[in-house]
Amino acid sequence: MRTKLLPLLGLALMLFACNSNQSKKSADCDNCPSAEKVAEKKGSCCDHHKSEKVYTLETLMKDPESLVNKEIKLKGNVLHTCKHSGRRCFLASDDEKVNIRVEAGGKIKGFNQELVGSEILVTGIVKERRLTKEHIEQMEHDLKEKQQKEDGSAETCAAENNNITKMRQWMKAHNKDYYAIYFIQGVDYEAVQ
């Protein structure tokens, strides 16, 4: 009788241990902060809620060079989507001082106009395009020719001239012989509630 009782006792202890583990998981989950807060802490509340860091435009632009060719999650407000193809959208920071282009790819077939003004979470790969000093000089030369023709686009020329000046300032501040343009090659996205 005793030999039959030991396996049953062992089974009962195992079931009790498994159930208490399940209760602990549920209790832990009830105490979990929101996924957003978990991402801010760069960790997770429990083993079954592992999370990746979610970047904002401000945090991404602090050191984008270190993230080139890496997949990240980026949250931002949709400022604009390309009307004709829908293959691009532009995300902006809350104050709209920082923005970045997102190219459709992976599961993303396009970006609808209805997204403008909403917040989305994009999964994508950080990419970099470099404009060389020679390229910028050519842009400046073309701009001067355009200004000499006086085609009535003085406002556009001023904006382009301002962009060239900002590029040169960035190059000097970062001690680079090129200007880096960062963008996201999209893989997937979802609307943020």
Does the model's pTM come out above 0.75? no
User: Please, how many CA atoms are within 13 Å of residue 96, restricted to the half-sphere of its CB?
Assistant: 4
Name the residue type at position 166.
K
User: Please, how many CA atoms are within 13 Å of residue 37, restricted to the half-sphere of its CB?
Assistant: 5
CB 102 within 8 A of CB 81: no
Which architecture, in CATH terms, is 54-129+183-191? Beta Barrel (2.40)
DSSP state of 113: G
pLDDT tens for each residue of the chain, 193 residues long = 444 434 433 433 343 333 433 333 334 444 444 443 434 433 444 443 445 799 999 999 999 999 999 999 999 999 999 988 889 999 999 888 889 999 999 999 999 999 999 999 999 999 999 999 999 999 989 888 887 776 555 666 778 888 899 999 999 998 999 999 999 999 999 998 7
